[in-house]
Amino acid sequence: MIIIAEKLNGSIPACGKAIAARDEAYIKRIARQQANAGSSFIDVCASVNEGELETLKWMIDLVQSVTDLPISVDSPDVNVIINALDYCNRPGLFNSVSGEGGKFDIAFPVLAKPEYSQWQVMALLCDDTGIPKTAAKRIEIFETVMEKAKSYGIDESRIHIDPLIEMLCTTDEGEGISMLIEVMTYIKTNYPTVYISGAISNISFNLPVRRLVNQAFAALAISAGMNSGVLDPLSKDLRGVILAAEAMMGLDDYCSEYTTAFREGIFTA
């Protein structure tokens, strides 16, 4: 699984405080910990009311001072992301676009340029009407993403789809995560080179012992094709469950990745 490390995000209280205090040591420490835990991308989200671009630059510079991992440049504002791309030493993840506010037509022309051809992009399956309640509508937005990407010459293998993981405790009666699984299964079946992603811990909002809900969800999502995830790479049990689920899906012969990760301390007894 592609691990998009989520801990450098101003909306997390401890990180927000560190950003406000321009605590360089904090940013570097969390970046290093996440890199050492085998992340694929280090997500960087300022989540500030003013000076977002400048804050992102400060964070990105600090992260890049301690790790060579690619950055996931994370903002609700596509123009901020576009302006921050050049702060990155190497191609990373454009996080994110969606059907809201014509973002695809702003972001995709940029991602189509030769200098950004190695960048990947996260696309959220929502639009100007908000977060769709049905699988059909999310799939419709997904197809729009794919059409738009194709029209700009952006290869499927550069695209991560966030089908929008919502809290389990308020799903409709008898539904559980069936709608999400339907969307994931559709993507996996029809566009096997597209990454299926999402913020795993969203599933457990407002529930006790969130880690267990996250673990159960990760296993089920992996079985539906999830192969990228925004998560805390330092959640050792979650990492172990993800690797175990991948082995169960036939993606890790003789559990060699699972046992190697254990030896490397990615998860522990």
Which helix H or strand E contains 96, and what residues bound it?
Answer: strand 93-99
How far apart (Å, rounded) are the C-alpha atoms in residues 235 and 228?
A: 16
Residue choice 77, 237, 264, 265 for contact with its own copies (CB under 8 A): 237
DSSP helix/strand/coil, 120: strand
Site string for its own copies, 166-195 (x = CB under 8 A): --xxxx-xxxxxx-----------------
Contact 58, 87 (CB under 8 A): no
Counted residue by residue, the chain has a size of 269
Residue choice 35, 53, 80, 212 for contact with its own copies (CB under 8 A): 212
Alpha-carbon torsion, ordered 202, 207, 211, 214, to 10 deg: -40
DSSP state, residue 134: S
- What's the min distance (Å) between Cβ of 153 and its own copies? 33
- What's the min distance (Å) between Cβ of 186 and its own copies? 17
- What's the min distance (Å) between Cβ of 87 and its own copies? 37
User: For tokens 């299926």, what's the residue?
Assistant: 196
- 68 contributes a contact to its own copies by CB under 8 A: no
Residue choice 13, 49, 189, 269 for contact with its own copies (CB under 8 A): 269
List of residues contacting its own copies (CB under 8 A): 168-171, 173-178, 203, 207-209, 212-213, 215-217, 219-220, 223, 237, 240-242, 244-245, 247-255, 258-259, 262, 267-269
